[in-house]
Copies of this chain bind each other. A is one copy, B any other.
Amino acid sequence: MQRLLSRSSTLLRASLQCDLPAPASCSKFTPNSATRGYASIAADSSDEQHRWQLGATAAAALAAAGLASWLILEPETSLCEEAQLASAGQTQKRKPSLPEFHLEDVALHNNKERGVWVTYKDGVYDVTDFLEMHPGGASRLMLAAGGAIDPFWAMYQQHNQEEIRSLLEGYRIGTLAGGQDMSQQVADPYSNEPKRHPALVIRSQKPFNAETPAELLTGKLYTPNDLFYVRNHLPVPAVDPAAYTLRVEGEGLRTIELSLKDLRTKFKRHTISATLQCAGNRRTEMSSLKDIKGTTWASGAIGNAEWSGVNLKDVLEYAGLDDRSETEAGHVQFEGLDSDMEGVCYGASIPIEKAVYKGADVLLAYEMNGRPLSKDHGFPVRVIAPGIVGARNVKWLSRIITSKEESQSHWQQHDYKSFSPNTDYDTVDWESAPAIQEPNVTSAICDPGHNTPVSTCEGTIPVKGFAYSGGGHSVIRVDVSADDGKTWTVAELSSVPAKRSRAWSWTLWQAEVPIPRDHVGSIELICKATDNAYNTQPDSVAGVWNLRGVLNNAWHRVKVQVQEE
């Protein structure tokens, strides 16, 4: 691939699909997956400019090559080393022979007619031809037209990958005069993040994503606040509680604004126990099968807490929602105060019926386990939509909108969805799957941990974990096996008492599992849960693998080293 990046006046449009030997590090890729898309990129270089030109499936190809992250606000797992080899030493300041431009020159190129230029560090790039291929959409890239993309990349730090810098470099047309480096002027939007508990397992710093160590999940029905997993999509917003207002508006409502004091005094306080789980929890098991873009999560992106606040139903009714308007409005959208460069805030929605039915427990919560929400968990107010996936439990809540349509946010329309195992970025039709709402039944072994030594006691080993099912379904049974499912031990369950269809909290479990007599050193423990709709977990990850790596609920497997006593 090196040669594709060298300057040449020849149109080089060779498909790399055949040229590229699959490097060892790419062995996880299948032909219809990332490599095909990535390798179908062809090069068009000339004296005037050199740039990558993409084939017909370019956008999909880029997405497959890891560039979906341009918009998808998730830190990416590293792609294959091929790309890194290709771009090594070829990024900024690589081409001193290029002409110099002043900032004013760049500023003039802020439209398609004149050409769309951007700067990155000291480089100047003509990205006109890339606009339509930007996985985040041309409009988002146009926001940087005529100026620096450094602030945007500071926000979306997942751009900081060699593959993406290399791609950009293909569009380079010059260098900023006077050795200016625009990146020096960019403030880090993540400079005001709160302190976190050192025990959290950090999966990404910016935005901050961290999970609870699995062994700390069991034993307590309520997860301590500072150990509760954190899933941020953007920098944590600084909110002045005195100035905070929550705007409520939309289909069938009069627009109202509520202060924190209004929320605390105008509405009855409710407390519920509810589990939150990131849709990506247990993603690593999927990515170990076949590469996946998305935050790496083991099984600790889940937690249970007691939440206090006001009932969303009460607030909506206060704003005028009645039977008629409820019927007309199909959804309740939530917007957070966390927003990007362009002012686009995090957003999601739930079906309105989940918010307003008798017994609906959707809260606008201001307390978590009896304490005010922390900054990481949505201070001062967040949505707690029990039984619904974490992504819809919007933090730092600023706006509630009843509407006919669900949220049009990226996270509702193009992210938290699952597809068939054979669907990948080059074939995905985002509209073909519904936004995840109620998550499926799942469970995981938390103790013992992977590859840990365990001692047997009279031929059994103690195993602990959690189980959970969305939509208010209770977990009715957890089976644990040490012999690949030939025999199962029924675990002892422990959970917060709940009404049948309002089991919002997880179930913790423990079992003394007989180990097979003929084991040789290590054994694999397996658990699977069944909920009260008798849904259970599928046996293998392969059958539920999906390009976003969400809702992996295959049997959970942990290999341990058995030490005889």
Is A92 in contact with chain B by the CB < 8 A criterion? no
With both beta carbons as reference points, the residue of chain B lying nearest to A489 in the complex is identified as B422
Q: Cβ of A178 < 8 Å from any Cβ of B? A: no
Structural contact, A438 and B533, CB atoms closer than 8 A? yes
Q: Which of A523-546 contact B (CB under 8 A)?
A: 528, 530, 532-540, 542-544
Does A490 lie at the interface of the complex (its beta carbon under 8 Å from any beta carbon of B)? yes
Name the contact of A477 in the complex, choosing from B433, B438, B553 (C-beta under 8 A): B433
Determine the distance from Cα of A434 to Cα of B500 in the docked complex, in whole angstroms.
10
A66 interfacial contact with B, CB 8 Å: no
Q: Assess the B538–A490 pair: CB atoms within 8 A.
A: no
State whether the Cβ of A359 lies closer than 8 Å to any Cβ in chain B.
Answer: yes
Asked if B543 and A528 sit within 8 Å, CB to CB, the answer is yes
Which residues does chain B contribute within 8 Å of A433, judged by CB atoms? 476-477
Candidates B354, B437, B441, B488; contact of A420 at CB < 8 Å:
B488
In this complex, the member of A471, A532, A538 whose beta carbon has the largest number of chain B beta carbons within 10 angstroms is A538
Complex: how many Å from CA A364 to CA B535? Answer: 28
- A418 adjacent to chain B (CB < 8 Å): yes
Measured in the bound complex, the distance between the Cα atoms of B116 and A68 in whole Å is 79
Minimum CB–CB distance for A146 against chain B, Å: 43
Q: Does A501 have its Cβ within 8 Å of any Cβ on chain B?
A: yes
Q: Mark A421-436, 1 if CB is under 8 A from B, else 0.
A: 1110000000001101
Nearest CB in chain B to that of A417: its residue: B534
- Tell me if A418 and B534 are in contact (CB < 8 A): yes
Q: How many copies does the complex hold?
A: 2
Decide yes or no whether A259 CB sits under 8 A from chain B: no
CA gap between A489 and B534 in the complex, in Å: 26
Q: A420-B488, A490-B420, A500-B351 are in contact. Are A537 and B534 (CB under 8 A)?
A: no
For A550, the closest partner residue in chain B by CB is B534
Chain B contacts of A358 at CB under 8 A? 357-358
Q: Does A479 contact B (CB under 8 A)?
A: yes
Q: Is A180 at the interface (CB under 8 A from chain B)? A: no
Indicate if A440 sits at the interface (CB-CB under 8 A): yes
Chain B residues whose C-beta falls within 8 Å of the C-beta of A422 in the assembled complex: 479, 487-490
Contacts of A372 in B (CB 8 A): none
| Contact assessment for B539 and A540 in the assembled complex, using a CB-CB cutoff below 8 Å | yes
In the bound complex, residues from chain B placing their C-beta under 8 Å from that of A354 are 501
**Residues of chain B within 8 A of A441, CB atoms compared:** 535
From 396 to 445 in chain A, residues with beta carbon under 8 angstroms from any chain B beta carbon are 418-423, 433-434, 436-441
Return the contact of A532 from the options B434, B479, B533 (Cβ within 8 A).
B434
Q: Is the CB of B421 within 8 A of A351?
A: no
Give the residue name and chain of the B residue nearest to A429 (CB). B490
Q: Is the CB–CB distance between A536 and B543 below 8 Å?
A: yes
Give residues 357-412 of A contacting B (CB, 8 Å). 357-359
Taking CB atoms, residues of chain B closer than 8 Å to A487 are 422
Say yes or no for A485: interface residue by CB 8 A criterion.
Answer: yes
A309 is an interface residue with CB less than 8 A from chain B: no
- Determine whether A252 belongs to the interface, using a CB cutoff of 8 Å to chain B: no
Q: Are B477's CB and A420's CB within 8 A?
A: yes
Q: How far is the CA of A418 from the CA of B476 in the complex (A)?
A: 10
Residue of B nearest to A537 (CB): B538
A437 near B357 with CB under 8 A, answer no
Let me know if A544 and B536 touch, CB within 8 A: yes
- Residues B537 and A421 in contact, CB atoms below 8 Å apart: no
Is A181 among interface residues, defined by CB-CB distance under 8 A? Answer: no
Q: Is the CB of A533 within 8 A of B357?
A: no
Cβ of A353 < 8 Å from any Cβ of B?
yes
In the complex, what's the smallest C-beta–C-beta distance from A428 to chain B, in angstroms?
A: 11
**A551 interface residue (CB < 8 Å to B):** yes
A479 CB to nearest chain B CB (Å): 5
- Bound Cα distance from A553 to B194, whole angstroms: 47
Assembled-state Cα–Cα distance A501/B532 (Å): 17
Report if A470 contacts B (CB, 8 A): yes
Distance in angstroms between the alpha carbons of A530 and B439 in the assembled complex = 12
CB distance from A330 to the nearest CB of B (A): 8
A301 CA to B547 CA, complexed, in Å: 35
Given A420-B488, A485-B542, A490-B423, A439 and B357 touching (CB < 8 A)? no
* Inter-chain contact B476/A440, CB cutoff 8 Å: no
Selected contact of A501 from candidates B353, B420, B439, B537, CB within 8 Å: B353
Q: Provide 11 A-B residue pairs closer than 8 Å at the C-beta atoms, listed in order of the A residue.
A: A351-B500, A353-B500, A418-B534, A421-B479, A421-B488, A422-B487, A471-B533, A485-B540, A534-B553, A539-B539, A543-B555
Beyond the given pairs A437-B533, A535-B535, A536-B544, 16 more chain A to chain B contacts, judged by CB atoms under 8 angstroms and listed by A's residue number, are A353-B359, A353-B500, A353-B501, A354-B501, A418-B534, A433-B476, A434-B532, A437-B532, A440-B533, A471-B533, A485-B540, A533-B535, A534-B553, A536-B538, A537-B538, A538-B538
Binding site for B on A (CB under 8 A): 351, 353-354, 357-359, 418-423, 433-434, 436-441, 470-471, 476-477, 479, 485, 487-490, 500-501, 528, 530, 532-540, 542-544, 550-551, 553, 555
